[in-house]
Structure 1
Amino acid sequence: MTWRAAFKRRPAAVAAALMLAGCAATVAPPPASTVQIPAAWRTAVEGQSSAPVAQQWWQSFGDPALTALVDKALQSNGDLRVARARVAQYRALTGVAEANQKPNVSVDSAPTRTRQLAWNGVPYVTNVYQAEFQASYEIDAWGRLAALTDAATATYQAEQANSDAVALSIAATVASGYLNLRGLDAQLALTEATLKLREESAKLAKRQFDVGYSSRLEWLQAQAEYQTTAEQVPQLKRQIFEQENALSILTGGNPGPVARGAELADLQPPPVPEGLPSELLRRRPDIARAEYNLIAINANLQATRDQLLPSFKLTAVGGVQNLKWHDFLNAPTALWHLTGAVAAPVFDGGRVQSQTDSVAAQRDQTIYAYESAVRAAFSETENGLGAIVRLREQAIQNDARRATAAETLRIAHNRYRNGYASYLEELDAQRTLYSADVGRLQLKTRILVASVDLYRVLGGGWTRP
């Protein structure tokens, strides 16, 4: 039986359905977009590479230990495993939505034994052997079920993009953490080397004080400088210990030591990739996630609006039945019936319209969230490019300061050795040079970390299919 044949048996229902076909809930138009994509970035970085962003960009640092850490984190990180499990969940929900567009067939077997009273009060027992199958199918005349499937698919794609965003964030966090760890290692090595020099200077000041060549003040100043440097060693070791534990947790392990690779001095930031602002719309997974969310909410809006339209369902039920098991197996009685149903709301008190308005408001929120994600991407990229440029400029000034401090220490040491100045003058020059050396290591680390952050805000080589 076709659904048109079913309509012939329900002329009143058909008439009502035709009247309601044009009565879907009204939908407010979406707000106009206010996003303006700039033609180019404000900051131009010298020496930009024309090559696209590498998919595994962390390998560009040339450190096998860093690559191994990131690869391990992408396999074992707990947050990323949760995100991937959510992708599997929403992939299954997409299958549920697709199944609603297909026929549903079920089989039911229900043998029954009943003891009843006859008209004269005498009890009797009845056996009923019955097997039945039922098939039902909803005709998606208005596309409501297809819209729900589209919404589920877009939500699944949004979860995929979210998983990619989590992976990108974890890779950047691990890379930054490792580079910060190498920076702390370099600072510790510098501090321990400086501590040995401070110890020799303190011993020299003590000998000179003992023979009356210098004052007690100079000896105490040298001793205080040694103690100040010694105090920094356990502080740096604590920071290294905590950084190792954090990296171990990020890679899905227990707190513990982390293997090292290249020294900080041997690590060089990869070239800055060249790109246009419009390319971020395809490269950044968080923007793709916002876009898929917008697609999903629009499909949900269509499905919600179409609730006021009539639905058409076909149901076929067939089976066999008999009172005796032998006859049930050999000559059962066949039973069947076919039903075509048309259902449409007549009065719902404005419920569907209110639901439609609610989903339309959610659509507007999703549009605003998408625009905010795009603007945030532009801002983060501008800041990342600006950070690279300014840190490079700062490193040039630090090199000049370090060269001046080294020359100052050389002159102060010669003046002190020849008796033209006190030890306090040399001590002050040592402090200045040590500060410049620490600043150089910190700047090197910050430039490397800024390169990682720039690759993150550029999308990390991820491209939306």
Structure 2
Amino acid sequence: MTPRPEASAVVPPADWRTPVSSEGDIDAAWWARFGDPQLSALVEQARANNNDLAIAAARVAEARAQIRVARSLLLPTLSASVPVSEARSVNAFGQPSESTSAQPLFQAAYEVDLFGGNAARRDAARDNAAAVAAAHESAMLSVSAATASSYIALLALDQRRELLKETLVSRGEALRIARDRAEAGYTSQLELQQSEAEYRATEQQIPAIEAAITRQENALSLLVGDAPHAIARGAAFAGLTTPLVPAVMPSELLRRRPDIAQAEYALAASDANLRAARAQFLPQIRLSASGGAAISSLLGDPISIWSIGGSILAPIFQGGRLQGQFDAATAQRDQAAFAYRKTVLTAFREVDDQLALIDRLGAQEQALLAQRAAVAEVLRHATNRYRAGYSPYLEQIDAQRALLAVDLALIQLRTDRLTASVALYQALGGGAA
């Protein structure tokens, strides 16, 4: 058999590009690490009821049935037949006669797998079934991660809506004060209109957030296998726990990721198909036997009948068909080898991407918290200056806008950190060991 391309070999790196400082572990129910029972319940429901997973499970059943089909090639075939006939004829003297006859027959046939072609087909079916089962595990991991991320995004939308509602209350109070001051003649209509514009600008964002919440609930309903409905919440967004980064080495990834296992089994199946294609060049030996009896009303006693035979079929000229099949199987094996290499390298990249993102998001959060403290202080001074009559209302509006933008950015940042943790668990293969 032709060897695999040397360029398809993969050597895992000694360590991740982004250093892992924590020593967190990972278990099968990794979604429980976020500290929300409702998140865990939704993930379990999705794993049980998701339609894509049901389709993947049916594919596993189909592939396992194909193993039994391929395994049958290594066993003899047995069959029985009992043809019965009734006839009326005329003899040489013009006299009619009727007869009833039967010929029960038992037949057996067996192909001697002298050169391993049928065994290779069985191995290919077995490896393909293992690849399909690994694909089911990969789909299970993807659905679990998508459900967890979708629920986190839903809680983040809830948090944005609450922030906007709180902001709207403060904007409403500012509008009330501006209206009272304008009616009393302390301020111009300009400040009143600025205050109302700011109030309306905040007010119009709430329906958009509520529509996004509905869409997110509908998407989550589909993931768990239900019609669109409201999703119950567990912990608040602020109550979600950010898990520690699991300490997993690059070499461990090769046995953790189901998509890598899928690519590995697919490569093994292509190797088996290549062996089967090579066996087509060699002779095939078939043995057959049959036995039975001839029974007729014209005979006094049944007559036993039997036959034993064998055949050797060797290809001599096929017009290049066998060589073409072998070359195609070789190319398919090479494709599977490079697909395996790509899958492994992609897995390394995905883990490093999430490690770098989590690390940099931590630094970004520190800077954003410092910015919020500074913006909050600016708002305090602007408010005091406005109330004392030292500055126009526009300074306070700018400070309020800046603080709202920073608070929304903090919610988004925390959402990114939590979903990056989910993506890291997925990149590491979930709870596989």
Q: Residue 365 and residue 229 in structure 1: after superposition, are their counterparts in 2 closer, same or farther (change >3 A)?
A: same
What are the residue-to-residue correspondences of 1:379-394 with 2, within 5 Å? 379-394=349-364
**Residue in structure 2 matched with residue 443 of structure 1 by the alignment:** 413
Letter in 1 for 2:3: P
Are 2:66 and 2:125, in contact at CA under 8 Å, matched by a contact in 1?
yes
Cα deviation 1:37-74 (Å, max 9, x = unaligned):
2110010143342x3x2111101111110011000000
Deviation at 1:120, TM superposition (A): 5.5
Does residue 349 (structure 1) correspond to residue 319 (structure 2)? The answer is: yes
* Equivalent residue, structure 2, for 1:39: 14
1:83 CA displacement: 0.3
Aligned to 1:115: 88
Of 28-37 and 199-208, deviating more is 28-37
Runs of 4+ in 1 over 6 A off after TM superposition: none
Aligned equivalent of 1:362? 332
Whole-Å Cα distance in 2 between the matches of residues 220 and 155 of structure 1? Answer: 70
- In 2, Cα distance between the equivalents of 1:276 and 1:154? 27
- Structure 2, unaligned stretches of length 5 or more? none
**One-letter amino acid matched to 2:170:** L
Query: Which of 275, 296, 313 is residue 302 of structure 1 equivalent to?
Result: 275
Q: Deviations over 1:417-459 (max 9, x none)?
A: 2222222211211111111111111111111000000000111
| Cα deviation code 1:353-376 (max 9, x no counterpart) | 111011101111111111111111
Q: Which amino acid in the other structure matches residue 31 of structure 1?
A: P
- Matching of residue 30 in structure 1 with residue 30 in structure 2: no
Q: Helix, strand or coil for the counterpart of 1:138? A: strand
Tell me if structure 1 keeps the 8 A contact 2:99–2:297.
no
Preserved contact between residue 182 and residue 263 of structure 1 (Cα < 8 Å) = yes
Q: How far did residue 238 of structure 1 move?
A: 0.5
Secondary structure, counterpart of 2:74 in structure 1: coil
SS of the aligned residue for 1:100 comes to helix
**Structure 1, 396-405 or 420-429: larger mean CA deviation:** 420-429
Of 203, 208, 216, 2:189 maps to 216
Say whether the 8 Å CA contact 1:56–1:461 is kept in structure 2. yes
The whole-number CA distance in structure 1 between the counterparts of 2:186 and 2:19 is 59
Q: Does 1:261 align with 2:231?
A: no
Q: Relative to structure 2, which stretch is displaced further, 77-86 or 98-107?
A: 98-107
Q: CA deviation at 1:107?
A: 1.2
User: In structure 1, what residue type is equivalent to 2:259?
Assistant: D
Equivalents in 2 of 1:121, 1:304: separation in Å?
Answer: 62
Q: Is the 8 A contact 1:45 1:389 kept in 2?
A: no
How do residues 43-442 of structure 1 correspond to structure 2 at under 5 angstroms?
A: 43-49=18-24, 51=25, 53-119=26-92, 123-324=96-297, 332-442=302-412
User: 1:36 deviation in Å?
Assistant: 3.2
* CA distance 1:178–1:48, change in 2 (3 Å): same
Which moves more between the two structures, 236-245 or 414-423?
414-423
Whole-angstrom distance in 2 between the partners of 1:134 and 1:171: 53
CA shift for structure 1 position 131? 1.1
Measure the CA separation in 1 of the matches of 2:65 and 2:400: 66
2:101–2:296: 8 Å Cα contact kept in structure 1? yes
Find the counterpart in structure 1 of residue 427 from structure 2.
457
Bigger mean CA deviation after superposition, 113-122 or 134-143: 113-122
SS in 1 for 2:103: strand
**Secondary structure of 2:288's partner?**
strand
Secondary structure of the residue that 1:342 maps to in structure 2? Answer: strand
Number of residue pairs matched by the alignment: 432
CA distance 1:62–1:313, shift in 2 (3 Å) = same
Unaligned runs of 5+ in 1: 1-26
Output the CA distance in 1 between the equivalents of 2:65 and 2:177.
Answer: 76
Q: CA contact under 8 A between 2:99 and 2:298: conserved in structure 1?
A: no
